Structure 1
Amino acid sequence: MADRTITLLIVDDHPVVRDGLRGMFASAPGFEVLAEAADGREAVALATRLRPDVVLMDLRMPGGGGVEAITELGRLGLPSKVLVLTTYDTDSDTIPAIEAGATGYLLKDAPRDELFTAVRAAAEGRTVLSPAIASRLVSRVRSPHGGSLSAREREVIRLVARGTGNREIAAELFISEATVKTHLTHIYAKLGVKDRAAAVAAAYDRGILG
């Protein structure tokens, strides 16, 4: 991969961030930015048409979040590798992104050279994780959590407990309504319940809510 130009698609809802990243890669040899997208839906459309080597993906964006876009790119079988570049390092962001198929996960405070190295590695299909994310994932794997709710599922059940509807939950968490319903299905299965009220009651009973 070092002997050819790596093509990129930059996905971020902030024009200033996109401009900065485009300028950064334009000044470095071996990279070509094919296009920019302001949300996940636009990213999927552009990636399908342009087939970049690497999609540099933000996560929380109005009009289509990164995790949904990563999932859709995987479903379409596109060869593009996704490298998440975001300011968010919580489990509720990192785990879904990696489960959806992201090749790597970096934070926006990563040094310029680290970003270049990560893009090259992602283009080769190698996993790249910022040190902070890597240590969190290791801790998570080592801690027993069989059957417990994921961080994202906890966020969903907390909002359900407040009486928030699926559409509002989707808007607050920057995910689709279909994803909210999927999370609820998993929550019901893990808690052994069949509806929202029973899920909230079980979550209080188990100390998940309190």
Structure 2
Amino acid sequence: MPDEERDAYLDTVLIGGREPVTIVVRDYDPAWPDRFETLRARIVDALGTRALDVQHIGSTSVPGLAAKPIIDILVTVAQVEAEDDYAPPMYDAGFALRVREPGHRMFRTPERKVHVHVYEPADQAVTDYLDLRDWLRFDDSDRTLYAVTKRDLARREWTDMNAYADAKSAVIAQILARAREWRSYRPSRVLSAIPNRFLHRPVCGWGR
């Protein structure tokens, strides 16, 4: 998408508009999974059974991967467009709505250290997020490739976080293609290489 079209689109979906940003990529922090668990409990407490699944996604969910110190969380709900059903409890729990686009909402904390992405379970983005995460947890080469890419991009100046994300898209597409191939045949012996605590699992029995 040309820059002008991308910017015009962002202006329609970003609540509060585009924001200048300095990208900081840090070495993996072993505290990130515990941070997610605290946030997961907060979201589940706020949404109850309206949260069909709550998952840790993004680079902070991959042990050993350098990342921006932002916890990304994936929440699935029955109907994303039924915003009045889940947004007020999220506000009460301290999350502000940042993105509103068809099929997707994104909430964040005031400190901008947590991003909560809301989708419906059948959305392709849900599968892609989890496939990418699980593959990077397993494959050293792509984990290194992704880390090098992010560190290189972090040295540049960006007008908005979305511009930085777009710049990673080509590499992510390559890695995701391998992740999808892996998903199509991954045997139990491959999954056994991933510690149990990091495997995709439903929350409180409500998951897919």
Question: What is the TM-score when the length of structure 1 is the normalising length?
Answer: 0.31
Determine which structure has greater relative contact order: mean sequence separation of CA pairs < 8 Å that are 6+ residues apart, divided by chain length.
Answer: 2
TM-score, structure 2 as length reference:
0.31
Bigger Rg, which one: 1
